[in-house]
Amino acid sequence: MKRKASFYLELLPGTLDMLVLKTLSRQPSHGYAIAQHIQRVSDDALKIGEGSLYPALQRLLLNGWVEAEWGTSETNRRARFYRITPAGRRQLSTEAKNFDFLIGAIARVMETT
């Protein structure tokens, strides 16, 4: 049985873009669905607020890593749907490698006595 965290972990700088790109690599989604997916998959440890998510999506758009178009959500509301671009897939690969390197380095420090 998984234990739910009673707190929300703060993301390392730069990881929000990576998490959004990873989520969009599955399928195009609107902002609320992106945040819900990250929260659900992380077992509620990561909760992305609108104040962080929408500036990140705008940054990804400006960098050419995602594209957006207006559509209708599953609740029949107008929503902006985001889709990862080929450049976004390359960026995701780069960010994932950098993240793995960082986590490995932190693990090595934590393992020392």
What is the per-residue pLDDT for 42?
93
Task: Write down the pTM of the prediction.
Answer: 0.86
Query: Can you say how many angstroms the Cα of residue 64 is from the centroid of all Cα atoms in its chain?
Result: 16
Tokens of 9: 């972990």
Amino acid at position 77, single letter: R
* CATH code 3.50.50.60 for 15-111: no
Provide the token pair at 91. Answer: 């960026």
Supply 101's token pair: 């390197």
Residues 52-77: pLDDT tens digits?
Answer: 999 999 999 999 999 999 999 888 99
Domain boundaries defined on the chain: 15-111
Within a 10 A sphere around the Cβ of 101, how many other Cβ atoms? Answer: 10
